[in-house]
Amino acid sequence: MKTLRINESKKKSQINEDIYGQFAEHLGRCIYEGIYVGEDSDIPNKNGMRTDVVEALKDMGVPVLRWPGGCFADEYHWMEGVGPKAERTPMVNSLWGGMIENNHFGTHEFFELCEQLGCKTYVNGNMGSGTVQEMQDWVQYMTDTSESPMANLRRKNGREDPWRVNYFGIGNEMWGCGGNMLPEHYASEFRRYNNFVKDYDWMNFTSDTKIKRIASGPNRDDYKWTETVMEGITRTGNGRDEFGNFAAFLGGVPSGLALHYYAIPGDFTCRGDALDFDEEEYYATVSKAAWMEELIQKHGAIMDKHDPEKTIGLIVDEWGTWYDAQEGTNPLFLYQQNSIRDALAATLTFNIFNKHADRVHMANIAQMVNVLQAMVLTEGDQMIKTPTFHAFKMFKGHHNATLIESALEGIKQISDEDEDHFVNEIFESVSQAKDGSYTVTLTNVALKDSQSLEVAFDEFKPESVEATILTGAVDAHNTFDEPEVVTTIKFTDFEITEKGLKLTMPATSVVCLTVK
């Protein structure tokens, strides 16, 4: 029998709830139709936000939301999206289908959405086609409490109090759609732009209210980008030497470096189908999702050289599965169905993030609604929850809990029939909540084999266990006609033992145990 050994006396890093963050871009039907339908829509809404979508996402748990992109961020000019909607300036969304963006969902609407969700805010600024002045003005518009021109414009547009910007991204994918920059150039530009992303609420300034600035990090395994940018953005400048702690108000070292990585079973010309796939494509997907572990380790090792205290988090603010767009839809809208395969890819990734909570401070799956690995899908006034939605909800026990040392014994690697793709058969992580309970999450990616597992604590003796399971055929999914094909159910195939418990997981399943 395989064994999960838990050393509950070895407490590690806190698992930041922001690891379970979301991402919403002006892309396809994510914002319009998916989240925002307007105040005059027949679809039930509150201030334009779909009530069904917001209530579902609140139930799932959204700790932080990233907006407005993505690649869209570096074409977005925020002034076009404030003021009376009838007077807002339309733009062409040249990146995602060439559609006309009416800018009815802008800064005020984003913060309204976050207030309804009860989540933190992550705003991505425009470095690619924007100016330092434009970025500075936006931050002032959102956060300033004084009688400055931008704060007064915010008041004129209907918002007296400033908003809280928890995270601010200085550019997005600057190696690609954000500007096609070399890492040396971006590091230099980051220092300049970062200097003007100011914390305006001087009277209430603390480390908790300071905007956490996120630098544009690497694509996949571009370790040179990480090395060059980390060296550039952490180098102490003369101004910082001269002003000492005062430099904190002038930008200073960022709080995070963004990594982007998608698990694609094929390549960018043929990514594969979301539902019609064979064993090789299945194992290609989960093994590529599992590559996240190596990426975190190698990028993290480079970051450790420049930031040994790990104050700069690795921010995986774009990740998830990516397939060909569903047939019959606009290929640039990136709409795809969502199956058990996606829930397995997500949860094995969650477990990897948890195990590296000392370095991974936030992650934002792409994307929240109707795009790529979405939490919910909508069609007119209908909405369905995807298997990935249920996966996120299962892992809520890890939010802000303390990671506990754990390790699997006796597991093996499995592969497809041609032995082209290898992956561990089980992924796990363990945390302890403030009330003393333990959350144990397990992902069995084996396509055919169930897994018998002994969960052994070092000294702790469980008295009660509550458990849920998500399982099914790997292509199982929910549709608008059958919205409950995939959902979580109570898990009972376990027994409490003197050392912990024994359980048997079905093939292709996710199990969450709350142990007290």
Catalytic machinery residues: 173, 318
Hey, which bits of 62-152 come out as E strands? Answer: 64-67, 91-93, 99-101, 120-125
Residue type, 273: D
The three-class DSSP label of residue 20 is: helix
For residues 466 and 501, the answer to whether their CB atoms sit within 8 Å is no
Q: Six-digit token pair at 298?
A: 């190698």
Cβ burial of 357 (10 Å; 0-12, 13-18, 19+) is buried
For residues 168 and 315, the answer to whether their CB atoms sit within 8 Å is no
Residue type, 81: G
**Running DSSP on this structure, what letter comes out for residue 176?**
T
> How far is Cα 201 from Cα 65, in angstroms, rounded to an integer?
22
**Running DSSP on this structure, what letter comes out for residue 325?**
P
48 preceded by cis ω (within 30°)? no
Residue type, 331: P
The three-class DSSP label of residue 258 is: strand
Phi and psi based region of residue 17 (left: phi greater than 0; alpha: psi -120 to 50; beta: remaining)? alpha
State the pairing for strand pair 49-50/45-46: antiparallel
Nearest in space to 364 (alpha carbons), one of 15, 24, 13: 24
The three-class DSSP label of residue 110 is: helix
Cβ burial of 394 (10 Å; 0-12, 13-18, 19+) is buried
> How far is Cα 271 from Cα 329, in angstroms, rounded to an integer?
16
For residues 140 and 130, the answer to whether their CB atoms sit within 8 Å is no
Q: Six-digit token pair at 403?
A: 């990671």
Rg (CA), the chain: 23
> How far is Cα 44 from Cα 37, in angstroms, rounded to an integer?
9
For residues 74 and 129, the answer to whether their CB atoms sit within 8 Å is yes
The three-class DSSP label of residue 494 is: strand
C-beta neighbour count of 294 within 10 angstroms: 11
Residue type, 370: N
C-beta neighbour count of 293 within 10 angstroms: 18
> How far is Cα 144 from Cα 223, in angstroms, rounded to an integer?
37
> How far is Cα 422 from Cα 424, in angstroms, rounded to an integer?
7
